[in-house]
């Protein structure tokens, strides 16, 4: 972990007033010890109590043994971005014990496994030992399950001391274990025993309290990968190909978990989809593009290294005009990079993907609801344009749990695009002097009509290829044919501006400056905007949700004297694309970009913008 960004500890003990629903708990454990379940239970219990809460897993590329951290932020004001300091630490890992303490604010709380026999070098904190081994030993749990439930001790102790509703904890267990009573019972036995032990043996000496909040009933707690997968399921995906890669694997696995039940054919009871684990991402892309060509709603999900491999096939899909949807759950590159950390570094790669002149529609979901919506809408756009649609999520959005609104059922019927089956082709031929060409633009929008394998009309077949071809899909090396076809495809891609989701814009009265961002960083940026406003810097905000840019972005750029483009990469990639697309406004664009693998924090954004605005 990075050096903590906190002020030096106070010399004298600070008397703190009560802090309610506005603090950060970080659990430090050993990877592979089963802490993910315990952390998820805590998070869901807080969510159930109506408290705005987020959970961020900082984990190693490792199966077992290396340190891992899970930070839960409670914010009654709804600020759910990462913060760099901890108010409460649950220390279960002796290897990081001393280091973890550096992040604890003065007056903070330390819960620690009492088998960690180390002196605590801070006198300005409240420390509570937890007899983990003893509680597990004494609880009514079969010996073979003890290792799996030991982390539930801290759930019980923390819940008791911080006043987390044990009923909410119990409900979270039921949701997590999907009603499997044996698992619920053994975990609950430990939690209850630990809570009872804490009630009897620990005296509360810290100021942190959890209190239930009246929250709207209609909220959900879900990770972005599951949300995107559900979106794809309601979008009617028919073939998904993938190769295991962090942080994208859980996307395909969520398809595999939910599709068999949701996507039983109402007529035959059979599955209306296939999920294929390919031999690599070259093949995953090939399978999806073969399926897209043959008329299936086809997709692949991957992350940076796999996305690099898919570049070859996506160029073919662009030029042969094949609809396909690719999800890139971004992690830190270049190369293998930081496989378990988050970034927004694949943007310019996706934008310019492939050799030769290409263009792609890029969707940028910013929250779990947009993951769901883009999950289905991406297919409509891809099939309408007969082109690849790339969806750029990231590890933070994809793998961490986020609060969202209930998913909204697709508000439009599926758009399958310009497809001609037997009767359609017959009618088309009658209406067009007997002429149909696979790549012939008859509507003037650059989008031709396609036929699909299995069409038995004797005029339906054509030979698709990545080599030069004319409007009738015939091989051609003619200079003017090449240029005509490639220019027509560019014209076709212009339709994307009317199909992609518009940016989200929030205005502040009298704001001179604008902040532009995209993807998972919005929570930190909204918090930063409030902090900046408190310093007297009002900001407008535009969150991009897609490329190509649309008129709203043009207007936003025109209307502000200075624009800060905030993103999680080194080079300021969105700023680069904006400067390229809008050279007339390029000098107004300022990059607020960095990448260290961790989710964005409001503090960093405020600091950067304040300095550039001359406030510090």
Partner 1 sequence: MITQEVSSPKVQVNRVGLTRSDYRGLPSTLCQGCGHNAIANQIISAMFELDVVPEKVVKFSGIGCSSKSPTYFLNRSFGFNGLHGRMPSLALGALFADTSLKGIGVSGDGDTASIGMGQFKHLVRRNLPMVYIVENNGVYGLTKGQFSATAEKGLTLKRQGTNPYMPVDICLEALVANATFVARSFAGDPKQVKEILKAAFSHRGIAVIDIISPCVTFHNQENSLHSYAWGKDHEMPLHDITFVPPREEIYIEDFEPGTVREVQLHDGSTIMLKKLDHDYDPTDLFAALRVLEEAKQNNWLITGIIYVNPDAPTMFDAYNLPEEPLNRLSQDRLRPPQDTLEQLNRVFGV
Site for partner 1 in 586-615 (CB under 8 A): none
Contact 397, 368 (CB under 8 A): yes
Q: Which of 167, 465, 535, 558 binds partner 1 (CB under 8 A)?
A: 465
- How are beta strands 298-302 and 324-330 bridged, if at all? parallel
Helices in 57-119 by DSSP H: which ranges?
97-101
Instruction: Pick the piece of the chain touching partner 1 (CB under 8 A) from 63-71, 133-141, 441-449, 457-465.
Output: 457-465
For residues 243-262, which are near partner 1 according to CB under 8 A?
Answer: 258, 262
Rg (CA), the chain: 27
Site for partner 1 (CB under 8 A): which residue of 161, 283, 546, 565? Answer: 283
Smallest distance from partner 1 to CB 291, Å: 4
Q: Are 158 and 126 in contact (CB under 8 A)?
A: no
* Sites for partner 1 among residues 490-519 (CB under 8 A): none
Backbone φ and ψ for 233, nearest 5 degrees, come out as -65, -45
* Single residue of 293, 351, 541, 564 touching partner 1 by CB under 8 A: 293
Smaller CB distance to partner 1: residue 88 or 473?
Answer: 473
Among 52, 67, 81, 286, binds partner 1 (CB under 8 A): 286
Distant-in-sequence, close-in-space partners of 440: CB < 8 Å, separation ≥ 6: 448, 449, 471, 472
Task: Tell me how long the chain is.
Answer: 616
Binding residue for partner 1 (CB under 8 A) from 215, 440, 481, 586?
215
Are the CB atoms for 87 and 75 separated by under 8 Å?
no
**Least distance CB 407 / partner 1 (angstroms):** 6
In the complex, least distance from residue 299 CB atom to partner 1, rounded to whole angstroms: 11
276 interacts with partner 1 by CB under 8 A: yes
Q: Is 131 helix (H, G, I), strand (E, B) or coil?
A: coil
CB 40 within 8 A of CB 55: yes
Region from 78-86, 187-195, 445-453, 511-519 binding partner 1, contact rule CB under 8 A = 445-453
Q: Which residues 6+ apart lie within 8 Å of 378 measured at CB?
A: 232, 235, 299, 325, 363, 389, 391
How many whole angstroms separate alpha carbon 190 and alpha carbon 174? 15
Q: How far is CA 216 from CA 29, 104, 211, in A?
A: 33, 32, 16
What angle do the packed helices 181-201 and 152-162 form, to 10 degrees?
50
DSSP per position, 289-314: HHHHHTT--EEEEE-HHHHHHHHHHH
Q: Out of 34, 129, 212, 290, point to the residue binding partner 1 (CB under 8 A).
A: 290
Q: Are 84 and 5 in contact (CB under 8 A)?
A: yes
Q: Which of 88, 241, 353, 592 binds partner 1 (CB under 8 A)?
A: 241
Of 388-417, which residues contact partner 1 (CB under 8 A)?
Answer: 406-407, 409-410, 413-414
Q: Tell me how crowded residue 603 is: count the other CB atoms within 10 A of its CB.
A: 19
DSSP state of 114: T
Residue 314 engages partner 1 in binding (rule: CB under 8 A): no
Q: Does 384 bind partner 1 (CB under 8 A)?
A: no
Q: Which stretch binds partner 1 (CB under 8 A): 81-89, 226-234, 425-433, 503-511?
A: 226-234
Please tell me the distance from the alpha carbon of residue 111 to that of residue 131, in angstroms, as a whole number. Answer: 11
Name the burial class of residue 41, with classes exposed (0-12), middle (13-18) and buried (19+) by CB atoms within 10 angstroms of its CB.
Answer: buried
List the one residue from 266, 434, 583, 614 that touches partner 1 (CB under 8 A).
Answer: 266
Dig out the tokens for 479 from the structure: 């200079």
Give the residue, chosen from 28, 298, 381, 574, that forms a contact with partner 1 under the rule CB under 8 A: 298
| Residue nearer to partner 1 on the CB measure, 140 or 265 | 265
Q: Are strands 388-394 and 208-209 parallel, antiparallel or unpaired?
A: unpaired
309 binds partner 1 (CB under 8 A): no
Instruction: Point out which span in 59-67, 116-124, 458-466, 580-588 binds partner 1 (CB under 8 A).
Output: 458-466
From 11-19, 270-278, 332-340, 423-431, give the range in contact with partner 1 by CB under 8 A. 270-278
Minimum CB–partner distance for residue 328 and partner 1 (Å): 19
Instruction: Kindly state whether residue 296 participates in binding partner 1, applying the rule CB under 8 A.
Output: yes
Smallest distance, Å, CB 97 to partner 1? 35
Least Cβ distance, residue 158 to partner 1 (angstroms): 21
Q: Is 233 in the site for partner 1 (CB under 8 A)?
A: yes
Q: Is 581 helix (H, G, I), strand (E, B) or coil?
A: helix
Site string for partner 1, 71-110 (x = CB under 8 A): ----------------------------------------
In the bound complex, what is the minimum distance in angstroms from residue 414's beta carbon to partner 1? Answer: 5
Binding residues for partner 1, how many (CB under 8 A)?
80
């Amino acid at each position: 972990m990075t050096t903590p960004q906190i002020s030096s500890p106070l010399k004298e003990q600070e008397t703190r007033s009560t802090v309610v629903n506005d603090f950060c708990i970080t659990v430090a454990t050993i990877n592979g010890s089963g802490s993910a379940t315990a952390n998820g239970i805590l998070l869901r219990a807080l969510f159930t109590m109506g408290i705005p809460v987020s959970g961020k897993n900082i984990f190693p590329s490792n199966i077992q043994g290396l340190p891992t951290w899970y930070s839960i932020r409670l914010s009654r004001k709804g600020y759910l971005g990462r913060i760099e300091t901890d108010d409460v630490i649950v220390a279960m890992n002796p290897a990081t014990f001393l280091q973890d303490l550096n992040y604890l604010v003065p007056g903070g709380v330390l819960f620690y496994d009492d088998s960690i026999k180390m002196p605590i070098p801070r006198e300005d904190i409240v420390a509570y030992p937890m007899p983990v081994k003893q509680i597990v030993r004494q609880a009514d749990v079969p010996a073979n399950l003890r290792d799996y439930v030991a982390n539930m001790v801290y759930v019980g102790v923390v819940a008791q001391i911080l006043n987390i509703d044990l009923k909410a904890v119990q409900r979270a267990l039921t949701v997590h274990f999907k009603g499997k009573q044996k698992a619920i019972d053994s975990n609950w036995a430990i939690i209850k025993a630990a809570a009872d032990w804490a009630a009897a043996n620990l005296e509360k000496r810290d100021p942190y309290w959890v209190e239930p909040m009246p929250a709207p009933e209609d909220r959900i707690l879900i990770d972005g990968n599951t949300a995107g997968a559900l979106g794809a399921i309601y979008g009617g995906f028919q073939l998904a190909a993938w190769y295991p890669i962090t942080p994208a694997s859980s996307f395909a696995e969520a398809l595999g978990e939910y599709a068999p039940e949701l996507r039983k054919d109402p007529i035959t009871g059979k599955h209306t989809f296939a999920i294929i684990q390919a031999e690599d991402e070259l093949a995953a892309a090939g399978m999806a593009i073969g399926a897209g060509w043959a008329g299936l709603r086809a997709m692949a999900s991957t992350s940076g290294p796999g996305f690099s491999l898919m570049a070859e096939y996506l160029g073919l899909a662009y030029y042969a005009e094949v609809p396909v949807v690719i999800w890139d759950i971004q992690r830190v590159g270049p190369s293998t990079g930081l496989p378990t950390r988050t970034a927004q570094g694949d943007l310019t790669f996706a934008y310019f993907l492939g050799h030769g002149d290409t263009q792609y529609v890029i969707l940028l979901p910013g929250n779990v609801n947009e993951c769901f919506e883009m999950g289905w809408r991406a297919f409509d756009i891809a099939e309408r344009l007969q082109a690849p649609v790339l969806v750029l999520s990231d590890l933070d959005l994809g793998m961490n749990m986020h609060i969202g609104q209930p998913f909204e059922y697709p508000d439009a019927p599926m758009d399958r695009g310009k497809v001609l089956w037997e009767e359609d082709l017959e009618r088309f031929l009658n209406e067009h002097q007997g002429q149909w060409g696979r790549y012939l633009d008859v509507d003037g929008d650059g989008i031709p009509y396609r036929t699909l394998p299995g069409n038995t009309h004797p005029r339906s077949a054509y030979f698709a290829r990545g080599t030069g071809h004319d409007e009738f899909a015939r091989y051609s090396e003619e200079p003017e044919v090449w240029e005509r076809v490639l220019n027509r495809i560019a014209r076709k891609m212009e339709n994307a501006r009317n199909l992609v989701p518009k940016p989200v814009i929030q205005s502040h009265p009298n704001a001179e400056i604008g902040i532009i961002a995209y993807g998972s960083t919005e929570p930190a940026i909204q918090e930063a905007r409030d902090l900046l406003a408190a310093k007297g810097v009002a900001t407008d905000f535009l969150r991009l949700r897609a490329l190509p840019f649309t008129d709203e972005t043009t207007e936003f750029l025109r209307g502000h004297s200075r624009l800060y483009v905030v993103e999680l990469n080194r080079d300021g990639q969105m700023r680069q694309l904006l400067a390229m697309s809008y050279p007339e406004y390029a000098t107004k664009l300022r990059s607020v970009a960095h990448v260290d693998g961790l989710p964005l924090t409001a503090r960093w954004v405020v600091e950067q913008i304040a300095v550039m605005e001359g406030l510090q």
